[in-house]
Amino acid sequence: MGVLGLGRMGTALARALLGAGHDVSVWNRSPLKAGPLLDRGARLAATPAEVASADVVVSCLSTYDSQQPVLEAASPKVLVNLTSGTPEEARRVAKWAASQGIDYVDGVIMAVPQSIGTPAARILYGGSETAFAAQREVLSVLGEPVFLGEDAGLAALYDLALLGIMWSTMGGYLHALALVGTEGVQPEQFTPMATAWLSAVGGFLPGIGEQVASGDYATDVSALDINAAGLGLLVEASRAQGINPAVPAVLRELFDRAVAAGHGSHAIASVIEEIR
């Protein structure tokens, strides 16, 4: 096994492979970062090309742009690319890999470095199904491997979609803490209620997904216009309490546009028509 890039995540990947008994060669622009891995038995490659002698090379560099010269220098037989980027960047590297006769799998890590090599880690993959199947056992060392399809851009697409949910949730939570904090409510008082609420909200997602899939936005539960009005109240209350209303204001604008487009009596799921 070879690992290109020894940032926090690349180091965690190499450490997990070493812990599973694999022979691992590593390369990084700053060789000093390899020290702790060398103590565990890794070999330090002087160039990316030396890493390419491994059966499988895992790349985890900062960006696709910085990665490309390294990949061209390495030219491995099998490349598992775990560098974060956009779907189009992943497809571009897949096209390059195909032109070089390289079996290519693109992946995204849905975990923090500390959980790599544990059951808590999940890694999404797209690209060559043959290469993925052949390397599934070793990829399982890093985290639960999930294959999404032969489109190399799918993993990056899922990654950004899932992170969008996370960032939106965290933004809403931080806004909530700022709001209740104006009256002296501490995070430890509010957070248990927030986590219970999020569990309940998560239960709404399958139903929303079904409405989006069917295009039938009829509801007898909670119409969009009521929720748009609620967002308006949240924006007003935020201003009145002296905090920045930017987080809910964006949603209020989106919901208002959907109402203006004729979805006022429909379910919240109808907002996807404005997003589209």
- Quick one: residue 246, left, alpha or beta (phi over 0 = left, psi -120 to 50 = alpha)? alpha
Specify the pTM.
Answer: 0.91
What is the homologous superfamily of the domain 160-275 according to CATH?
N-(1-d-carboxylethyl)-l-norvaline Dehydrogenase; domain 2 (1.10.1040.10)
Where in the chain are the domains?
2-157, 160-275
- For residue 80, the SS3 value is strand
b/e per residue, 215-239, with b = 16+ CB within 10 A? eebebeeebbbebbbebeebbeebe
| CATH number for region 2-157 | 3.40.50.720
Is 90 exceeded by the pLDDT of residue 69? Answer: yes
pLDDT recorded at residue 32: 87
Give the span between the Cα atoms of 230 and 252, in whole angstroms. 9
Is 90 exceeded by the pLDDT of residue 54? Answer: no
Nearest-5° Cα angle at 137, 54 to 60: 50
* pLDDT tens column, 141-155: 999 999 999 999 999
Give the span between the Cα atoms of 144 and 123, in whole angstroms. 6
* pLDDT tens column, 201-243: 999 999 999 999 999 999 999 999 999 999 999 999 999 999 9
Give the span between the Cα atoms of 78 and 1, in whole angstroms. 10
- Closest to 78 in 3D by CA, of 117, 28, 16, 136: 136
